[in-house]
A and B are shown apart, each in its own frame.
Chain A
């Protein structure tokens, strides 16, 4: 069954400028995130898993460059969206939970303020309404404006190609083509600009009219409330206590109307407070009213992580990126947080990207798993594929380096360290640490071999000409035992 793609990352390549040269952190990563699933990205530190997720969020460090690739979300390429427009996506569509709950909260700000901060900032309702009305035209106009820059770059590249003698065209035609394109672009831009400003004005007008109508409605209601007040008060002139009660009621009514009016305009403090308390309840923080006024240091690690999750949830995102949310926590708290994320996912129908280095954590959470090494995805498959039928030597190594509750065999640690990404290796990046490495591994990068519909791995071992290699004994035993315990040993084994 083909499911709806929620996010599509294609050939994403990211590097960092440093004094020593370019560090190639991510080298051509391709994956899909389907609606309502959990995709786990597993790998050692420095394998580029955090960098790819940060690229999706558009919060790459200043020296990071996206060299190539696309991130398609709702029909637009996120790598080309500029900072100003990213604000509308970040939080509202994409939420992120960071690794360290200690350092991702502001220590001198009360928890409540931190939770409501995003809501208040994004909560200007009338303004947002206006923006939404003309956003399409705006996007077209700014897209055309940006296109000019890309045209110039294209022309330069083509000219360079001509100089190097790689192109069939000559410089004159390229230049004439370019100028023709520029002229067309200019007229288009002009037309788009006129449309853009027109719709903007119209949008302002309609929303202002709405606001006015609302104001009139509320004013009328106030009037009616006041009228009833005078009437009732005149009736109950002698009864003092009753008058008092009545006055109180009227005051409450009036303030309610006032609040309603305010809420039409923007998210008020009171509304944000109510929402925050609701979300704090949802993520399982006891006594949220009291906790609302406390500082981060008054919370334990698990509670702090819950607050970080609450902050991510305030804007109700579609996609939640969890960057090692449980690494800093201990086992019991970790189990709680994982349960919480799972429940929230079901309740809100979120798509989750879950990043971790611990395969044990992933087994509980993930529908699909992508194993990353040295900036590349080396194996991707459903969680059953990865745990019961791992194919890549790196996945084997990761699995066998986990201490097991059942056996006391010596752990097979992965020898050596990950490669220096300043000088990415020519062949398979894992070849140096791989005892199954063949000669070709050092010379050529393996392509993705498809094993089944959901499962594929990038290793030369899967090539039809490669020698047959057995899975390491530790893992084989473990898988057999696991399958036996769940009572589903396949017959041919």
Chain B
């Protein structure tokens, strides 16, 4: 663990928030799909993101690759800021304005009071008041200016740096819906190359054939249409499309959930080979813990927009601490009838387990490389469990 810490991360996410707003006024509804998550992914690592459907893991992936604009927080890729939200800045400006207004009001009150007490030095008091207010206002303007500059800096990320972004690719969940049925396999795979400015047909052809071979398909498959392939082969096409621009980082969004068990093994083996051969860093999103455990080095467990536990995959299965992780682990079905007959499923009820009314939880490092979302009281309890 300590070895990887010294390296610079390929991707680091800081306080990422993604809200979806619908309706206006009385009907306004804010869905906090991702609510303040932070993590790092290092070179050559597989980071698994696990959680039930609707917990925001896919949204996280899509926000990182800039399919959505984040509401708040920053995403650094290869050391460069690629996307950032401005809600935090806006909020702080609002807060500052309110604060300054309140201070001025207070000053006015004291001034009036003083005027009533000592009507002789009215002139001096007024001047004093004016200078104080001016200082405050100046401070406010300065602060807002600073924030505006920050917002400007963050908004710069709206323009996509194609050279950088082609290092990041995504594999989608549904191999049927994510391939255009009217395009041949070659067109599908070459699209990314063409968008990134490649014009030589000969190069594109060789590159497509190369990639097809890497994912275990044949060059003659290039002229066929997606419907002629089976589910596993379609997912291979999806992987080939991601690989064609030689990315350094891949977000795999439930690439095996829609596949049969036997085909699943093929795709997982393929991804594993790619990772060893090409040294690609992968962020692997899934809801199946057995797949995640098999494939990833580090696992983040997500629950309703929050990362509740991040740790190495061995550690997670040895010492699951967060009650939600425990409940997830207890739901994994195993091919062992005797064990299954005695299995007790743990049900996670957040209202009963946690008391976050007075002490909101924070991400604590409870052991080297083992982070958990908890408040101080719970941290003590977890520490006891670890010992």
Contacts and interface: CB of A to CB of B under 8 A. Distances in A.
A45 to B, nearest CB: 5
A359 interface: yes
A363 B293 CA distance: 20
B91 interface: no
A398 interface: yes
Interface stretch (B4-12, B141-149, B188-196, B259-267): B259-267
Interface stretch (A147-155, A285-293, A329-337): A329-337
A152 B16 CA distance: 76
A44 B290 contact: no
B333 interface: yes
B362 interface: no
A414 B52 contact: no
Nearest to B53: A330
Nearest to A300: B54
Given A401-B261, A410-B272, A414-B265, A384 B288 contact: no
Nearest to B317: A405
A412 interface: yes
B338 A411 contact: no
A413 interface: yes
Interface stretch (A111-119, A131-139, A202-210, A481-489): A481-489
A26 B290 CA distance: 32
A408 interface: yes
B339 interface: yes
B139 interface: no
Interface in A410-435: 410-414, 417
Given A330-B287, A403-B294, A410-B272, A363 B334 contact: yes
Contact of B335 (A44, A330, A402): A402
Given A333-B52, A398-B262, A414-B262, A359 B335 contact: yes
B280 interface: no
A363 B335 contact: yes
Interface string A329-356: 1111111001100000000000000000
Given A335-B331, A339-B345, A413-B269, A402 B261 contact: yes
Contacts of B269: 410-411, 413
Interface string B213-247: 00000000000000000111000000000000000
Contact of A412 (B260, B265, B287): B265
Interface string A10-44: 00000000000000000000000000000000001
Given A332-B52, A335-B345, A401 B294 contact: no
A437 interface: no
A322 interface: no
A489 to B, nearest CB: 12
A478 to B, nearest CB: 8
B-side interface size class: 35 or more
Contact of A360 (B52, B232, B266, B333): B333
Given A358-B333, A359-B335, A44 B260 contact: yes
A300 B262 CA distance: 28
Contact of B327 (A332, A357, A363, A402): A332
A399 interface: yes
B328 A332 contact: yes
A397 interface: yes
Nearest to B256: A403
B261 A358 contact: yes
A478 B336 CA distance: 9
A335 B287 CA distance: 13
A225 interface: no
Contact of A363 (B232, B264, B290, B333): B333
A357 B289 contact: no
B268 A403 contact: yes
B262 A399 contact: no
Given A408-B294, A411-B269, A331 B328 contact: yes
A246 interface: no
Contacts of B334: 360, 363, 405
Nearest to A326: B333
A401 B264 contact: yes
A45 B258 CA distance: 11
B197 interface: no
Interface in B49-103: 52-54
A401 B336 CA distance: 15
A335 B333 contact: yes
A284 interface: no
Interface of A: 44-45, 300-301, 329-335, 338-339, 357-364, 366, 383-384, 387-388, 397-399, 401-405, 408, 410-414, 417, 478, 482, 485-486, 488
Which 6 pairs between the two chains have the least Cβ-Cβ distance? A401-B265, A403-B294, A360-B333, A413-B265, A330-B287, A335-B331
20 contacts: A44-B262, A331-B331, A331-B332, A332-B52, A334-B331, A335-B330, A335-B333, A335-B345, A358-B333, A359-B335, A360-B333, A363-B333, A387-B336, A399-B335, A401-B264, A402-B335, A403-B293, A413-B269, A485-B339, A488-B338
